[in-house]
Amino acid sequence: MHFKDFTFKSRLAYSIARAGFEEPSPIQQETIPLILDGKDVVGQAHTGTGKTAAFALPILQNITKRDGVGAVIIVPTRELATQVADEFYKFSRNLGMKTATVYGGTSYKRQLEHIANASVVVATPGRLLDLLDKQKINLTPKFMVLDEADEMLNMGFLEDVRRIFTYFPDRQQTLMFSATMPEEIKDLAQTLLKKPTFIRVEKEAITNNNIKQFYYVVDEHERDNAMLRLVESVNPKKSIVFCRTKRETARLAEFLEGQGYTTAALHGDMEQWDRQKTMKAFRRNEYAILVATDVAARGLDVRDVTHVFNYHIPFEAESYVHRIGRTGRAKNDGIAMMLVTPHELRELKRIQQDVGSELTLGAIPQKNGTVEDRMKTLFDMVKSQRTNKSGEMILDALTEDTDMKTVATKLVLLLEQTLVHDSAIGKSFDEVNKLLNDIGDDVESESKKSSRKYKAKSGKSSSSKNPRNKNRNSVRRGTNRGEVPEPTVKSVGGSRIVARKLY
C-alpha cells in the first residue's frame, strides 16, 4: 500500500511525498482509515513505528486554517512536544497551518502568542492545565490526542490528564497512542473516548515465507571481502545492502563500485532531492546495489529487489524484519543474507527468538577461478609491475647460488599462492557449531539435532487480541523442528566467480 491510496488533499499529499514517506507503517495503515472515518481510536505499537503521523495526517486532513486551534496533542515531555511539533510542521507548512508548543519553563507571553496563531497545539500536561485553570486560553478543538499515554502514567500525569479533558467537552474525536497498554491506560481510554476501537500492532512478524534467510560467520576484518564474494556469487539484479551508519554506507558503496558493480549509497542525511533521485534510479534498474541505512530505507517500496544483504547485524529484531522485508515483495521470492561475527552470535540468537524466524547457516563461497583465469591475472600483474634498482639487487642475491629459472618459478608460485589464489574466508560449520555451543543451551541441542542448522526454539507468544491484526501480527514459530533439515546452501545462486587483480 502507498500513502496515495488514502487520497489526502493534494497539499497534504505533496508534503507527505516531500517527507519521503511512501509506504504507511502497519499502525498507520490500520488507524488512519478509522480516524478519517470519525472514530475514536486507541493505537498501540512499539516506539519508532510512526504513531505520530498516524494521528497527524488524518487530523491535518480534517482541520482547516480558519478553524483556529483544531487539535490539541498532549505529550508527557518537552522533548516529545518538540518532536511531535516537528512532525506536524513537516506536513502542515504547505497547508499554511501553524503548530504551537506549550510546556513549562518558558514565557507565558510567547506561548500565548503562538497559540493565538496556531491550528495545532502540542502541550505537556502541567503547563496546559496551568493555562486552562488560569483561564488564559479557551480552546475548542475538534481533536484531542493523548500521545505516549503509558509514559503519562509512569510520570504520574493521569490525574492532570483527566482534569484537562474536562475542559474539552465539545471535542468531536479523541485519540490515544501508546507503546504499551497497562490496565490504567485501558480504563482511561474507556472513560475519555467514545466507543473506542483498539488497534494493536505487534512487532512486525515475518509472515512472508518466500524469503530465504542465510547467515555467514566471519571475522571482523573479513567483512568487505565476504560481502564481495556473496555479491559475486549471486550476481544480484537489484539488491540492498544494509549498514549501520552513513559512513559505512558511503565507504562500502565506494568499495563495491570499485569492484565493478553499479552501486549507490542512501542515507538519512542526504538531501531529500538526492535521495529521491537515487531511489528513482534504483527503481529504473540503474543500480544493482543500493547501500542503505535503516532510516533511509524506511518505507522504501521497490517490488523487484532480489537480494537483501546485512553487512552488519541490525540493532533491533524489528529492523531485521524490516530489512529483509524489502525483498520477496509482491509474491516474488527473495533471499536475505547476513554477515555475523562470532561476537555477534548472541545478538543473532536474540533476534531469531524475537522474530521467530529461521536462518540457515551458510558458507562464504570460496574463490577458485579457473586455471586460465588465475594465469591471466598473474600474467597481468607481472606485466604491469615496474622494475627498479632494489628489485635487481634482490634478484642478484637470490640467484647467487640458484639458477634464474628456479628462482623465477618459485617467485611466481609464491605470488600465485599469496595474491591470486585467495585464502578462505569465514568460519567453517564445525567452528560455528562450537561457537554456538559456547553461547547457549537451547541452541546447542537444536544445532546438534539439525547438525548445521541454527534455529530459534520458539518465537515469543504474541497473539493479538484484535482479530484485525491476527494475520499480520502473529509471530511465526519454528514449527518444523522434527523435520529433516534442508541441506545447507553453500553458495546461493551458483558461483559466478571472476578472477581479478587483487592488489
- Binding residues (CB under 5 A) for Mg ion: these are 51
175 binds ligand ADP per the rule CB under 6 A = no
Inter-residue contact 309 to 227 (CB < 8 Å): yes
| Least Å from the CB of residue 75 to Mg ion | 8
Interface pick for ligand ADP out of 21, 91, 103, 287 (rule CB under 6 A): 21
Residue 299 engages ligand ADP in binding (rule: CB under 6 A): yes
Closest approach of Cβ 195 to Mg ion, in Å?
Answer: 24
Stretch that binds ligand ADP, among 34-42, 46-54, 208-216, 419-427 (CB under 6 A): 46-54
126/299 with CB nearer ligand ADP: 299
Between 145 and 296, name the residue whose CB sits nearer to Mg ion.
Answer: 145
- Least separation in angstroms between residue 24's CB and ligand ADP is 5
From 32, 71, 42, select the one nearest 177 (Cα to Cα): 42
Helix H or strand E segment including 499: none
The residue nearest ligand ADP at its CB is: 50
CA distance 120 to 172: 15
Dihedral angle over CA of 112, 98, 169, 157, nearest 10:
-70
Under the phi-then-psi rule, with left for phi > 0, alpha for psi from -120 to 50, and beta for the rest, what region is 18? alpha
The CB-of-21 to ligand ADP minimum distance in angstroms stands at 4
State which residue, 87 or 222, has the beta carbon closest to ligand ADP.
87
Q: How far is the CB of 346 from ligand ADP (least distance, A)?
A: 26
Contact call for residue 99 and ligand ADP (CB under 6 A) = no
Q: Where are the beta strands (DSSP E) in 228-352?
A: 239-243, 263-266, 289-293, 307-310, 334-340
Binding test (CB under 6 A) with ligand ADP, winner from 5, 37, 47, 409: 47
Q: Under a CB-based contact definition with an 8 Å cutoff, are residues 357 and 210 in contact?
A: no
Note whether 267 binds ligand ADP by CB under 6 A.
Answer: no
Residue 275 interacts with ligand ADP (CB under 6 A)?
no
Write out the H or E segment, with its range, that includes residue 430: helix 429-439
Stretch that binds ligand ADP, among 49-57, 65-73, 165-173, 451-459 (CB under 6 A): 49-57
Piece of the chain touching ligand ADP by CB under 6 A; list 18-26, 325-333, 380-388, 440-448: 18-26
- Rounded CA-CA distance 417/456 in Å is 40
Residue 48 binds ligand ADP, judged by CB under 6 A: yes
User: Regarding beta strands 453-455 and 358-361, do their DSSP bridges make them parallel or antiparallel, or are they unpaired?
Assistant: antiparallel
Pairing of strands 334-340, 307-310: parallel
Do 100 and 118 touch, CB atoms closer than 8 A? yes
43 binds ligand ADP, rule: CB under 6 A: no
Cα(188)–Cα(417) distance, rounded to whole angstroms?
A: 72
Q: Which of 236, 249, 348 is nearest to 295 (CA)?
A: 249
Which of 98, 238, 267, 298 is in the footprint of ligand ADP by CB under 6 A?
298
Binds ligand ADP by CB under 6 A, chosen from 25, 119, 225, 239: 25
DSSP state, 3? G
For ligand ADP, the binding residues (CB under 6 A) are 21, 23-25, 28, 45, 47-53, 87, 298-299
